[in-house]
Structure 1
């Protein structure tokens, strides 16, 4: 059925305007993004098919271009639009980190890092460089691949901290396995970095592990 054949109260755009975006289903929100359907499917039906094919919004947003374009009705243009939406969400979540003292807003840090790291299929090690008021100066992916004591080099973190003139750092990495619990290697890396950075009077405030929707804090666990 064409969307225009539906009662106005059931059309995604009108429903959003009248009742708010939180009242829409994932498929209805996705239909607004898609704008139009394809032969035999209106935009909502197409969105429902997309979610069935990919099994979740998470998988949809993290599909590669070939995977996305293999789905009927999808192509490079829609892929580019979807990636632009994802990047805007990341930047939206990063803004509070740039404006506020981070330990006054721990949820802002968690939300930003979870959005940034949760969809990655490989491990990355991120450093958030903070000024003397705990405001974010810059964040940077320093290492990629399996994160262990051999692959994270304290001297590189020290060099970067000195170059940026950071007063303190927040460390973060992801666990693609979906388990947020810190390994012995994670604990060892943290201690090595604390020691190396302590020699230049730069404090490690926290180490966060992102695993899917979960985000574990070393500081909250008493590990820092």
Structure 2
């Protein structure tokens, strides 16, 4: 007699999930199912639900999953109902990283189409998407022209979980190279708390003084954390 293979528990799951997404809309899906829909494309066979849930468990949130590096994503492992362990390959990791890059560019568009100072809400939205879930400290500078329009958004340094080295002379030298009239300093606190440290305050003062001597204005220094964004100017720190 012919033997029949047992039907996998996930058989038909993909089409059922796609049908629910079409019928009720993507906004009604929980985060792990939204991830599943995306993983279907890079993993055309098999059950991806364990992987989606493992990603959220490992990184803590959907935003943090997308902000993870390719190397970090590839460390994630999940076990299916048959006890088989499955991981994320470089193709899937690149797909997820690309999705984060798309989100950053979409958030950046409103901030660069108008003078940055007049589109402050859009700027804050952009820096939060870019840095809110970065696992390591990153220091970047937004260089602006005389009309306060963005010339360049450049990562100056990446560091550890609590420190990114900053060299005031390099920050200002780069401003001269791109003919900037002003700049906005931005960095993140991976701890989640955007409160400025003493080192942050001292470093900002050094950059402001160096920039002033060359007629470059520092509009603000923004610190991004999971708990929000702190503006040095609003706090009277510069």
TM-score, with structure 2 as normaliser: 0.78
Aligned to 1:219: 233
Structure 2 matches for 1:99-138, cutoff 5 A? Answer: 99-138=113-152
Q: Which runs of 5+ in 1 are unaligned?
A: none
Residues matched between the structures, number: 216
**Structure 1, residues 151-185: CA drift from partner, whole Å, max 9, x if none?**
43322222111111111110011112222101111
Higher mean C-alpha deviation, range 52-61 or range 206-215:
52-61
Aligned to 2:36: 31
Greater helix percent: which structure?
1
Tell me if structure 1 keeps the 8 A contact 2:194–2:227: no
Tell me if structure 1 keeps the 8 A contact 2:141–2:154: yes
Aligned to 1:76: 90
Tell me if structure 2 keeps the 8 A contact 1:207–1:217: yes
CA distance in structure 2 between the aligned counterparts of 1:176 and 1:53, rounded to whole angstroms: 16
Q: Which runs of 5+ in 2 are unaligned?
A: 1-8, 78-85
**Structure 1, residues 51-83: CA drift from partner, whole Å, max 9, x if none?**
335443244331543653541252222111111
Rg: which structure is higher? 2
Q: CA deviation at 1:130?
A: 0.7
Does residue 60 (structure 1) correspond to residue 60 (structure 2)? The answer is no
- Residue aligned with 1:219, SS: coil
Tell me if structure 2 keeps the 8 A contact 1:125–1:143: yes
**Structure 1, residues 26-72: CA drift from partner, whole Å, max 9, x if none?**
01211110116765x4x445523443354432443315436535412
Higher mean C-alpha deviation, range 111-120 or range 163-172:
111-120
Tell me if structure 1 keeps the 8 A contact 2:142–2:150: yes
CA distance in structure 2 between the aligned counterparts of 1:159 and 1:5, rounded to whole angstroms: 56
* RMSD, aligned α-carbons: 2.6
Higher mean C-alpha deviation, range 202-211 or range 16-25:
16-25
Equivalent in 70, 88, 103 of residue 89 of structure 1:
103
Equivalent in 190, 194, 212 of residue 176 of structure 1:
190
Q: CA deviation at 1:20?
A: 3.1
Aligned to 1:4: 12
**Structure 1, residues 119-170: CA drift from partner, whole Å, max 9, x if none?**
33332221100111211110112233324xxx43322222111111111110
Tell me if structure 2 keeps the 8 A contact 1:37–1:45: no
CA distance in structure 1 between the aligned counterparts of 2:115 and 2:89, rounded to whole angstroms: 42
TM-score, with structure 1 as normaliser: 0.83
